[in-house]
Every structure is written in structure tokens, then in C-alpha cells.
Structure 1
Amino acid sequence: MPAGQWTDEILDPKRKCGDPLADAAIEEIYDLGREDEVRAALGALGRNAGPVPEGLPDRLRAYFAASQVLPEWADPALIRRGQGLLGRYQGHITTNLLCASLPLCYGCANGAQVLHLSTRLTEGVFRRLMETAQFVVDVLDTGSLDPAGRGIRSAQTIRLLHATMRYHLSRHDAWDTAWGVPVNQEDLAGTLMSFSVVIPKGLAKLGVELPAADRDAYFHLWRVVGQVLGIDERLNPERFEDGATLMDAILRRQQRPSEAGTRLTKGVLDFIRECLPGPLFAGVGPSLIRHLAGDHAADIVSVPPADLSKIALQATDPLSFGYGKSGDVVPLLAKASNELGLAVFKQGLKMTNKGQRYRWQVPTGLTPAN
């Protein structure tokens, strides 16, 4: 859809739309009473790159077969070029996920209710954040979008997780239909743009100006992932500029304060403090969120004021950042960003999964609470 066409008249109906292919698969599982059997079968997918198990219900088998086929317009060369950015900027990409993409999503009050009520990110918050970071790394890993690749399996399983959340929350007494369908198409599109648009913009704020060809390749690979995730093609634009316009339209419509958004963002700040412990790092989370997501977005989710003075102090500590100077804001924040992103996988995995990668295997509702 051309830029400028994402009006309220276009987007309002998308809040009433789910994902028919994945929804049908999940509904069949519950109709047949095969939750435990399917949970065990999906566990056989191993590290998100194994073959689809035999004996799944018909609609679930059809779902896996259909959703792993990439669109005709998918360009393998662009996908690999976009994936190549992970090796260069993994720390910054991970930090932008935590400090820009997620706070912007949490500031969309209606969509934040899904995560709040489902407890995906309000109980076991550190594990949930690590799972999200692992998903981003999975799809950005070279070759992960090849047939039955790890990125494909991760996206397919998250799509089932979304369908399971819709199944349960739409039947929950606390769900307000004024929020739209749980995990609806507008919210899915906003989340996708928070990866494909917000992260390159965040890299620029850290002094990493991607060549247009790299930025567009990165956007293209996320557009492919959006197809696997079941996002309406009309909300999955072809060009980065159109994606940025769509993101702006969704934020204009959905941003407002909510208890859910504030609680979710507090979980991010707590996680950052655990990954980078100690008083000298206390200002990193608020400062990075305000720098990357902006003060307006940070205020909506009640982020404390930035404390650049503590980050400047870190630059003089030989055991810490070791570069930058007081007042040199972007280099200081860029170094803080890289340190945080790397710490997420070094410290975060130690805290939450004994140093092992996470496996997106079983959708919420098909696995016992933990």
C-alpha cells in the first residue's frame, strides 16, 4: 500500500482481524483435546530447526506446510545481506530491541494489554525478554530463512503462540473488545515495524549510519519474516520509507499511557540493571531508552529521567567503557549500547537459562506455566 494511505478507515478494521491459518490450527487442537500430545510433538522440533513431527492434527500440518513457503518476491541475496548486519552490530541491535522497539510497543496501550494479561512479560519477565532477543537473533542468523531453518521454525512457533494468545484472551472475562482482537493485524504490523524500521533508525542515533542498500536489505528480510508470521500483506510494505510511515501512523493512533505499558517497561529496566549491575550503570537503561525511543515515548511508559553523568563517569573507569568523554553523548551512549547488548547474551542467558540458548518450541497454553 502506498505511503500516506494508512488512515483510520484502513487500520480500524485491522484491529478486528487475527490470523485465520494459525487460528484454525490452534482451535482444532483444543477442539480435539490434543493439547498434551501436540506439546510433546512440538518438543521434538529440538533447536527450532528440525523436521515437523509426524501425526500432528490436519490443520496444524497444513499450517506448517503453508507458512514455511517464502513468497515469490523474497530475494535470497537481500536476505543474506540483511542478515550480515548481525555480525557487525549484534550488541547495538539487541540494545535497540530492548530500549527502542519494546518501549515503543509497550506505549501502544491497547496492544500492551495482551502481554499484560497473558503474563508473557509480567511473570518470568527476564526469561521472556531473553526469548524475544533470541528470536531476533534466530531470524538474523545467516541461512536461518532457508527451508526449515531456525528462523523459519522460530517465526512459525511464535505465530502459533500468537494464535494461542488470541484463543485464550478472547475468551477471558478481563478482555475488553474495545482493544480489538488480541494480537490483531495492526498490532502485529506495529511490532514488525519496530524491528524493521525502529532498529535501523536507532543505529543511526548511535552513530551507525547504514548505507541505504544495507538498510533496505535489512528491511526486506523482516518483510519476509512478516510473511511467515502471517501479517496481512497490505500491512507489510515493500519500502523502508513506507514502513516508517506505517509505524508513525500506528503510533499516532495507539500511543497513550497505561498501567500495562508502564509495568512492561519497568521489567525492561530491571532486566538492564541485572545485566549491567552496579551504581555506575544505573543510568544506562533510562538514558538509552530516552535517546533511542525519544522522550515522548519514554514519558508514556514512565521511564525515569536520563542520567548521562553516570555514563560519563563510566568512561573514566578502566574496568568499564574506556572511551568517550563527558558531554560526548553519542559515543558514550554507543559504547553503553554495545556493552549492554553483549551483556544480554553473556549475563542474561546465565541468569535465565544456565547459559543455553532459548528454544521457541511450544506456544503459551500448550505448555505448563513456569
Structure 2
Amino acid sequence: MPSSPWTDELLDPKRKTGDPLADRAIEEIYVQGREEEVREALGTLGRNAGPVPDGLPDRLREYFAASEVLPPWTDPALVRRGQGLLGRYQGHITTNLLCASLPLCYACGNGAQALNLSTRLTEGVFRRLMETAQFVVDVLDTGGLDPAGRGIRSAQTIRLLHATMRYHLSRHESWDTAWGVPVNQEDMAGTLLSFSVVIPKGLAKLGVELPTADRDAFFHTWRVVGHVLGIEERLNPERFDDGAALMDAILERQQQPSEAGTRLTKGVLDFIRECLPGPMFAGVGPSLIRHLAGDHAADIVSVPPADLTKLALQATNPLSFGYGRTGDTVPLLAKASNELGLAVFKQGLLLTNKGRRYRWQVPTGLTPAT
């Protein structure tokens, strides 16, 4: 067997590397004392699809111009095919985001420190979850990666948020340099792969075996997004199998218990209970996280035991309709996954925000945790 290219010698330096293009833009804003002015100006982007406002600092204008240019290897046909999976598997994709992608990221103890502290940069865990779900929709919506599309604007804004986190957290007394640079290249690559690799694998665990062409198109779509997000090309591999191998290497290096990861995962479980309220749904979050992210990661972030029996046996539970055997876990969990994913859209993206879109905001500094 050939040795893996994803060695410690390659990845260790990436924990000390940020994103020079975005970092320079954010630093200029703070040096000039224009953070509030810039924040208000960026608010005019509206639905994450508007034109870049006039009057921005020079390096921020350069940032927007450079980061909206898609790489020459972008295949528009593959992007359209990859985006088409959202319409077919909206519920399952959303559930995989909540119950696989995020817990796996939170199980990486060093990276979880930045995510935990960054809740101080916005309005708390709940809003961050909704913003992330909205980002996935923006990227996978038809036309999301077209010029000035919502997906590009959303990715550009998130990239600036990452740079803001690096600016503040690297200067914060709570930050331990042993964790690496906040939101470093390895952590960004792992987060991207938690979408491009983990979601297709999660679909398979729910009984949805994607054709290889669909899987690769989905991976390509997120690879384009990774470029917009500022991930180095060396950590943004071309092939799905290489991406899966890199994800495995990052998890092997970074998975470890942390108070931050447990706190963030509790936020996910609380969010699931908000979307599917009532005792009959109490086992949905732990069961799906353990099924999709795996028991090892679930144990690291202190997820309670799965409770499939309750899901299957409660006669009044709509998830049990059509599934009478407690051992038939994939159909049962597939039903639970679809119910949860659709509820996120109905009760989360729409109702909890009074019908308005959640938009990523670039904050001006650290505020008390909520």
C-alpha cells in the first residue's frame, strides 16, 4: 500500500497558517478604525447577492475582486449537477450537516476552541447553526456559484468572518498558541471536507447510495467553494477519494475531548429539540449523531446513548409509521433524518427568523458569550 501524502510534516505547518488575502483586509480595517463603517457597508449586500458597496478600504476592495473569481478548473456542468442534490435530498443533507458534519468538527479539540470562543463574535450557538444551514442552501441553490451569486457572496462573507476571528482570537488572553492559529488552514480544510465528503458518506448510511458521478459532482461543487473560502489548493484535493483520505488524516490528528467541543455539540442537540419538540422525539438527536458521525466521535463530545427503541415503539410517533422492527435501523433513521431536515427549513430557516434569510455578519469585536 502506498503511504498517505497527508503526513504530519505537511499538516503541522498548516496549523500555523491563516489566509493572507482576507487577513490583510481585516487588519487594514482595524488599523484605520473603520470597523463600524465597514460593517454597515457590508450590510448593504442584502441577500448575500448584491453588488459590493462603494467606499470600502483598498485591501477589502481587492479582497472582493480577487475572491469572487472562480478557479480555472471549475466545471459549470459538474457544479449544476452537484447543486441538484439539494432538491432531491434536502432533508437528509441538512440532517447530515447537523448530525455528522458539525459533531465531527466539534470532536477536533483544537479547532473547537476557536468555534467555541467565536460564539462571542455573533449572537450565540443557535444563530450560528442557522447561518451555517443558510450557507449550505446558498451554495447548493441553482445559480449560487454564478457571478455574484448568493453562494459566492456568502462564502466571501464567511471568509471575512474567519479573518475577523483570527484577528481577535490571536490577540485574546484566552487563546493558547498550542491550538495553532485560529481558523487555520488545516481546520478550514477539515470543515470543508465535513461537507464535501461527510455528507455523501452520511447519505449512504441512510440508504442513499449516490451514483459515483453525482458524488463526484457534489465534491467538485464544494471544492470550488473551498477556493472561494481561501483554502490552499494543496489542501483542496481534486478527487473524492483523496479528500476522504485527508479527512481521515485530520480526524486522526485532531480528535480529542474538549469542553469546547462538548458545549458546541450540546448546542446542536438543543437545536434539534427546538426543531422537533416533545418527548416522542427525544431520541432523534443522539441516535442520528451516533449513526452518522459514529460512536467514537459521539463519545468524544459526550452525546447521550442512542435510543432507537423509543423511536420505533411509540405508537403515536410519526417516525415509526411503516417501520415495525426496532432492528431495521436504516429505514427508521432515514425517516427521522428526513423529518428533522425538513423541520430545520420549516421551523428554523423560516419560522424562527420570521420568514427572513439568515445572513452571516462580520462582527466588530468580541462581546460577552450568550
TM-score w.r.t. structure 2 length? 0.96
Deviation at residue 325 of structure 1 after TM alignment = 2.1
Give the equivalent residue in structure 2 for 1:317. Answer: 316
Matches within 5 A, 1:1-370: 4-119=4-119, 124-314=124-314, 316-317=315-316, 319-320=318-319, 322-326=321-325, 327-349=327-349, 352-360=352-360, 362-365=361-364
Instruction: Decide whether the 8 Å contact of 2:205 with 2:292 is kept in 1.
Output: yes
Deviation at residue 117 of structure 1 after TM alignment = 1.4
Deviation at residue 354 of structure 1 after TM alignment = 1.8
Instruction: Decide whether the 8 Å contact of 1:197 with 1:243 is kept in 2.
Output: yes
SS of residue paired to 2:262: helix
Instruction: Decide whether the 8 Å contact of 1:122 with 1:267 is kept in 2.
Output: no
Deviating runs (4+, > 6 A) in structure 1?
Answer: 366-370
- Cα distance in structure 1, aligned partners of 2:349 and 2:238: 35
- Cα distance in structure 2, aligned partners of 1:321 and 1:345: 22
SS of residue paired to 1:119: helix
- Cα distance in structure 1, aligned partners of 2:57 and 2:348: 36
Instruction: Decide whether the 8 Å contact of 1:108 with 1:261 is kept in 2.
Output: yes
- Cα distance in structure 2, aligned partners of 1:141 and 1:85: 10
Instruction: Decide whether the 8 Å contact of 2:287 with 2:306 is kept in 1.
Output: yes
Amino acid at match of 1:224: V
Which consecutive residues of structure 2, in runs of 5 or more, have no partner in the other structure?
none
Deviation at residue 317 of structure 1 after TM alignment = 3.0
> Structure 1 residues 214 and 124 mapped into 2: Cα distance closer, same or farther (>3 Å)?
same
Residue by residue over 1:330-355, the C-alpha shift from the partner in whole angstroms, topping out at 9 and shown as x without a partner, is: 00000000000010111123563123
Deviation at residue 142 of structure 1 after TM alignment = 1.0
Amino acid at match of 1:288: L
Amino acid at match of 1:130: M
The percent identity for this pair of structures is: 83
Residue by residue over 1:150-181, the C-alpha shift from the partner in whole angstroms, topping out at 9 and shown as x without a partner, is: 00000000000000000000000110000000
Deviation at residue 29 of structure 1 after TM alignment = 0.4
Deviation at residue 365 of structure 1 after TM alignment = 2.4
Deviation at residue 232 of structure 1 after TM alignment = 0.6
Amino acid at match of 1:153: R
- Cα distance in structure 2, aligned partners of 1:122 and 1:305: 31
Instruction: Decide whether the 8 Å contact of 2:161 with 2:363 is kept in 1.
Output: yes
Deviation at residue 276 of structure 1 after TM alignment = 0.5
- Cα distance in structure 2, aligned partners of 1:159 and 1:353: 23
- Cα distance in structure 2, aligned partners of 1:69 and 1:122: 28
- RMSD over aligned Cα, in angstroms? 1.8
Amino acid at match of 1:69: V
Residue by residue over 1:187-240, the C-alpha shift from the partner in whole angstroms, topping out at 9 and shown as x without a partner, is: 000000000000000000000000000000000000000000000100000000
> Structure 1 residues 40 and 213 mapped into 2: Cα distance closer, same or farther (>3 Å)?
same
- Cα distance in structure 2, aligned partners of 1:3 and 1:273: 43
Deviation at residue 274 of structure 1 after TM alignment = 1.1
Amino acid at match of 1:230: G
- Cα distance in structure 2, aligned partners of 1:229 and 1:55: 23
> Structure 1 residues 212 and 155 mapped into 2: Cα distance closer, same or farther (>3 Å)?
same
- Cα distance in structure 2, aligned partners of 1:307 and 1:319: 16
SS of residue paired to 2:45: coil
Amino acid at match of 1:77: A
SS of residue paired to 1:342: helix
Deviation at residue 278 of structure 1 after TM alignment = 0.9
Which consecutive residues of structure 1, in runs of 5 or more, have no partner in the other structure?
none
> Structure 1 residues 137 and 32 mapped into 2: Cα distance closer, same or farther (>3 Å)?
same
Deviation at residue 364 of structure 1 after TM alignment = 2.5
- Cα distance in structure 2, aligned partners of 1:21 and 1:13: 18
How many matched pairs?
367
